[in-house]
Each structure stands twice: as structure tokens, then as C-alpha cells.
Amino acid sequence: MKPKQQRIAIAEACGWQFIPEYYHGEDQPPEFTTVTPDGKHLCGYYPDYLNDLNDMHEAEKVLTEDQLSDYGAFLKGKDNETVSLYTPEHREIAKVAMASADQRAEAFLRTINKWTTNPNEP
């Protein structure tokens, strides 16, 4: 998935709504409006889940108890070469704790069955 696709899919799963892009003219970039879960309208903004652990922490809060175990399993499956703890159990815990924002975003999307590997998908 492309980064923008990932960010939009996570935001929608968290209750954000999107008003499609529109153009003001050839010399201005397209804009979009988002509606936050609490009803605020923002022009041209949605959270940066792929780079901001705080944004991903907010996304993680929408997962159910059942989804959290799948989410943890996806994170443990990610290779993390910096983990060098003593026991296999500690290494598994560290993989989850040390996961980057983009690793968490992918695991989140896999957990809610929104991840796709087709780069041509809109």
C-alpha cells in the first residue's frame, strides 16, 4: 500500500471521514477536508500514522480485545535486528515495544483486514 492509502485507511478505521479532493484551479494543489471523530472539520489534514508513534497510539485504542492479540502477533512477526535481549520471550516483547510507527501501521491494517500488497490499488 502507498503511504497515503495507509494513512487514509487507518484514519477511516478510527472514525475520520473524508470529503474527496477538489481543485480550485490549475495553479493550486487539490484539497480535501476531513471530519474528525469529534466532528471538527479540518482542511488538508489527517494524522501521520506512519511517522508518529503518538498518532499510532491513538489508532491502537480503537482495536478490540480480540484484535489486540492479532495486532501483537503481527508486530512480533516483524524482524527487528536491534533486539538483543537474553530470552526468546523477552525478544518477543521487545519487538512489540520497539516497533516503529510504520511497522505499527502495517500491523494495524493487517489486523483490520485492510492491508493490500497491490501497488496499483487506489
Query: Which position has the higher pLDDT, 62 or 96?
Result: 62
Q: Could you tell me if residue 116 is inside a domain?
A: no
Name the pLDDT band for 34 (thresholds 50, 70, 90). Answer: confident
Enclosing domain of residue 84: 3-111
pLDDT digits (tens, 9 = 90+) for 44-91: 778 999 999 999 999 999 999 888 888 888 887 754 444 444 456 656
The dihedral region occupied by 30, where left means phi > 0, alpha psi between -120 and 50, and beta the remainder, is: beta
User: What's the confidence (pLDDT) of residue 82?
Assistant: 43
User: What's the confidence (pLDDT) of residue 117?
Assistant: 82
| Residue 74: closest CA among 114, 117, 107 | 107
C-alpha cell at 3: 503511504
Q: Could you tell me if residue 122 is inside a domain?
A: no
Q: How many domains does the chain have?
A: 1
- Nearest-angstrom CA–CA distance, 46 and 32: 10
Query: Quick one: 75 exposed, middle or buried, by C-beta within 10 A (0-12, 13-18, 19+)?
Result: buried
Name the pLDDT band for 121 (thresholds 50, 70, 90). Answer: low
Q: Could you tell me if residue 53 is inside a domain?
A: yes
Q: Could you tell me if residue 18 is inside a domain?
A: yes
Q: Could you tell me if residue 27 is inside a domain?
A: yes
The amino acid at residue 110 is: R
User: What's the confidence (pLDDT) of residue 110?
Assistant: 94
